[in-house]
Amino acid sequence: MSLPATPPATSPVTLPAVVPVDVASPWRLSVAPMLDWTDRHCRHFHRLLTRQTRLYTEMVTTGALLHGDVHRHLDFDGVEHPVALQLGGSEPADLAACARLAQRWGYDEVNLNCGCPSERVQRGAFGACLMAEPALVADGVKAMRDAVDIPVTVKHRIGIDRIERYDFVRDFVGTVAEAGCEVFIVHARNAWLQGLSPKENRDIPPLRHELVHQLKRDFPQLTLVINGGIRSDDEIAHHLHHVDGVMVGRQAYHEPWQMAGWDARFFGAATPFEDRRAVEDAWIAYLQRGHEAGRPWTQAMRHALGLWNGVAGARAWRQFWSDARQREQAPDLLHARAPRPGVAGAPQTNTLSQAASDARG
């Protein structure tokens, strides 16, 4: 007797009542890799706000690592853990060599970028264009997994150009998972490889979060992390019902104080610092240590300029700390006369001219 090709219309549809997401996943919450932004200073600042959230480096290309200054690209501070190195590349032997470096340097994960649409990256035949070559990605993942014990993960888009079909991303994940990748971070929009700048490619192709939820349903054994356009804590909480983790990029960078609530809300852990002033004090102490070791502090300070956003006096504070004319001065001396947002009677306008004349006097 042959079985019917489709179940009779009356048979109950059995969808899992609850998606088996891993509430204790190390990927529960993370800050996205962002070129020129998530350098080691930025990650240090983010650590003052959240101890539990996973942090990612900027993308480092295999070429830069194998032929450039490894210390400059890889050195980081132990307080940044858990921290992942993101690689850009496609040659399996090079990826394996770089994964070994990542492990030797003490990174907690090595992540392969299959989502960057920039033309420079496309010329190097990596980034988002790798989504068209899942077998090559699988080879790269396998080579890296053979080389290291730390997790090897992949960050990708839901499609490239005008390919909107769900089975494109499903097959990509399936092929790469067969090579042993267990964690997929999915930026839930296509990458349009022609005609859009990388910035436009982060805004214009429509977001389709439901495709990432669907991936989790189709691959319940894999860790699925959703990324793209997620801003509020309530949105994060919503996605955590459907996937194992949420990765936040621009919102975390521009509104860093939001992260101060994450350890308590999403991990049931203590908050590192109760108020912004305490974060500012710890951050300036970090800048001061760098200054005393001869490192300019202004490049690091730019990552913290959103700390007081939303509080009266934030603008004056931002202007004070971003004024290039005081870059030679010690951060702790500047701190003593910086505007104090939120303090009644504190100057609400730029006090720089006053500060500059104090400094001259």
Ligand X SMILES: Cc1cc2nc3c(=O)[nH]c(=O)nc-3n(C[C@H](O)[C@H](O)[C@H](O)COP(=O)(O)O)c2cc1C
Question: Do 49 and 41 meet the contact criterion of CB atoms below 8 Å apart?
Answer: no
Site for ligand X in 77-96 (CB under 6 A): 86
How far apart are the C-alpha atoms of 348 and 36, rounded to whole Å? 30
Nearer to ligand X, 230 or 284 (CB): 230
DSSP one-letter code for 13 = P
With binding defined as CB under 6 A, does residue 155 bind ligand X?
yes
Q: Does 58 bind ligand X (CB under 6 A)?
A: yes
Please, which residue, 217 or 250, has the CB nearer to ligand X? 250
Q: How far apart are CA 293 and CA 154, in angstroms?
A: 36
Q: Does 33 bind ligand X (CB under 6 A)?
A: yes
Q: For residue 187, say whether it is annotated as part of any ligand binding site.
A: yes
Is the distance from CB of 312 to CB of 342 less than 8 angstroms? yes
229 assigned ligand-binding residue: yes
Q: Which stretch binds ligand X (CB under 6 A): 249-257, 282-290, 291-299, 324-332?
A: 249-257
- Is 78 annotated for ligand binding? no
Among 26, 27, 30, 32, binds ligand X (CB under 6 A): 32
Would you state the structure tokens that stand for residue 175, as one six-digit string? Answer: 């092929």
Select from 227, 258, 326, 351 the one that contacts ligand X (CB under 6 A). 227
33 is in an annotated binding site: yes
Determine whether 129 is an active site residue: no
Instruction: Pick the binder of ligand X from 205, 228, 313, 339 (CB under 6 A).
Output: 228
Task: Round to whole Å and give the CA distance between 80 and 273.
Answer: 16
Sign of CA dihedral 172, 176, 182, 188: negative
The residues near 287 (Cβ < 8 Å, ≥ 6 apart) are 297, 300, 301, 331
Give strand ranges (E) for 115-215.
152-157, 183-187
Identify residue 354 by its one-letter amino acid code. Q
Query: Could you say which of 98, 114, 116, 181 is catalytic?
Result: 116
Binding stretches for ligand X (CB under 6 A): 32-37, 58-59, 86, 113, 115-116, 155, 187, 202, 227-230, 248-251
- Would you name the residues annotated as active-site residues? 116
Binding residues: 33-35, 86, 155, 187, 227-229, 249-250
